[in-house]
Chains A and B, each alone.
Chain A
């Protein structure tokens, strides 16, 4: 027997799961045209005294020609050294684990939709940057992402972890790819307050 619920209650500010406003949207970029990179800046100066962690929620697609998937790239504070990555992903019937150190950026391995992906299929990515503004620890990120197109070579699900060997507070982040991001791509930034 199915049970219809409707949407029984909408808890606004101060209610339900958001009673303490602990999780808040800070900024959002939604592309209306093609753009090479998507950036957020002045993060520490604007949010560092209020929020403990950051979360980026993304739907992405690039114009990388002839490719079902594109490689996502991002850097902190315009810095291009001291990064490491680890990927665990399911793609084309196999599970693959890969790692890289001493990199110039953090990557999402081939999990962003490219021009060859099924039409209207954007890849989704949820990335957590914990203790983003602490200066007593290096920066660690983790990401869950993926997309499923029509064929087995158009589908990937990925767990990624990244590391920046730098204790600086995060003040900016720039997302890039081999191709350019197309209209409809969006990156939304959320902040999580400490207790």
Chain B
């Protein structure tokens, strides 16, 4: 029997600048989480930190282009799942799928796409931990999110 599946869990729009936004007490009810973020900040990574793990435990592989040359690909490790890269004073958007977030038999693979009118990126990342995710902290690596930036968390039912 089909059931309603794509559930809005929480959202906010910033009325003042903030370095991060945290979704906590996430139940294990769903299969995947989807986080939708519109952001502008300084030139920096926009990341999703799980369960207060701020270590460099999130390797990623990216494919990106900005129209000034061929598309590029690279790998790295940062302190949160890669959502996007913010260029200064330009509003961008990113969507990250956190797959099987409550599973305890696998690391957490994430897929993110982000961009604005001048660039885009497709990224796969992994949290190197088998714990179920109970909190997601969306953070700007260096600076603050701006007034008007939005953050919305959805759960996809199992």
- Contact check, B106 vs A59: say whether CB atoms are below 8 A apart: yes
Interface size class of B (residues with CB under 8 A): 35 or more
CA distance A93 to B75 in the complex (A): 7
Q: Mark A146-157, 1 if CB is under 8 A from B, else 0.
A: 111110100111
Residue among A3, A13, A191 with most chain B CB within 10 A: A3
CA distance A123 to B110 in the complex (A): 9
- Contact check, A9 vs B4: say whether CB atoms are below 8 A apart: no
Q: Mark B76-115, 1 if CB is under 8 A from A, else 0.
A: 0000000000000000000001011001011101110100
CA distance A46 to B24 in the complex (A): 38
- Contact check, A1 vs B97: say whether CB atoms are below 8 A apart: no
Interface size class of A (residues with CB under 8 A): 35 or more
CB neighbors of B among A112-149 (8 A): 118, 120-124, 126, 144-149
Distance to closest chain A CB from B102 (angstroms): 12
- Contact check, A23 vs B111: say whether CB atoms are below 8 A apart: no
Distance to closest chain A CB from B143 (angstroms): 13
CB neighbors of B among A172-193 (8 A): 183-184, 186, 188, 190-191
The SS class assigned to the B binding surface is strand
User: CB-CB < 8 A to A149: which residues of B?
Assistant: 59, 126
CB neighbors of B among A12-34 (8 A): 12-18, 21-26, 28
Given the known A-B contacts A14-B4, A122-B109, are A7 and B27 also in contact in the complex, defined by CB atoms under 8 Å? Answer: yes
- Contact check, B2 vs A123: say whether CB atoms are below 8 A apart: no
User: CB-CB < 8 A to A10: which residues of B?
Assistant: 7, 9, 27, 29, 155
